[in-house]
Amino acid sequence: AMNFHVDVSWSRVARALPATAFSAAGALKLCWPESIEQSNWPDVSGLVNVVREAAPYLGLLEILLGTAMLARAATIRVVAARAAGAILTGGIGYLAWLHLSGNDASGCGCFGRVVRLSIGKHLVLNGVLLALVLPIAFEAESVLRDDPEGDPAV
């Protein structure tokens, strides 16, 4: 008889949620980078154009970060979670700025053409993802602090 054991910890499950969201958002940006809507407002159009041009690169980065948040190596998880937190924080600011300048934030293109969220739902989603990403960094930093030699990436 074959003995098969799967070790599923809550920290792995908690990492999988934002990792999946980041990887999915990145893949959808790669599929539809043009889905970031143009703005008719001159004060917003410059930043929106920069975001449109950066969409494929941001998509690749999000896939990479989503994958890295699942890494065994705490060193990699720390960097990925910090970068993901920075992207989420920037995204929250970008969405708020779009909304406050009178633009429809549902055309932000964060999830390509597939998912269009109202400003409220999108801010809640980003806030939840940020709340899930920060503990990944804290947990990985704790692992490194407690046993820096035990990290496979060191």
Q: What is the residue-wise DSSP string for 108-132?
A: S-TTTTT----HHHHHHHHHHHHHH
For residue 41, is pLDDT > 80? no
- pLDDT at 55 > cutoff 90: no
**pLDDT band (50, 70, 90) for residue 13:** confident
For residues 154 and 146, what is the distance between their CA atoms, to the nearest angstrom?
14
Please give the average per-residue pLDDT across 54-60, as a whole number.
Answer: 90
Q: What is the mean pLDDT of residues 109-115?
A: 82
Q: Give yes or no for a contact between 72 and 15, defined as CB atoms under 8 angstroms apart.
A: no
CA-closest candidate to residue 15, choices 76, 91, 93: 76
> Span 98-113, mean pLDDT?
79
pTM above 0.85, yes or no: no
66 pLDDT above the threshold of 80: yes
Query: Mean pLDDT across the stretch 112-141?
Result: 90
- How far does Cα 57 stand from its chain's mean position? 13
* Whether residue 74 has pLDDT greater than 80: yes
Local confidence band at 23 (pLDDT 50, 70, 90 cut-offs): very high
- pLDDT band for 42, please (50, 70, 90 cuts): low
Does residue 38 carry a pLDDT above 70?
A: no
Mean pLDDT on 30-52: 72
DSSP count for the chain of H helices, then E strands = 4, 0
Mean pLDDT value across the chain: 84
Q: Which of 38-47, 103-112, 132-141 has the lowest mean pLDDT?
A: 38-47
- State how far the Cα of 87 lies from the Cα of 68, in Å rounded to an integer: 15
What pLDDT, on a 0 to 100 scale, did the predictor assign at position 97?
84
CA distance 56 to 71: 23
Tell me how far apart the alpha carbons of residues 126 and 25 are, in angstroms, rounded to a whole number. 12
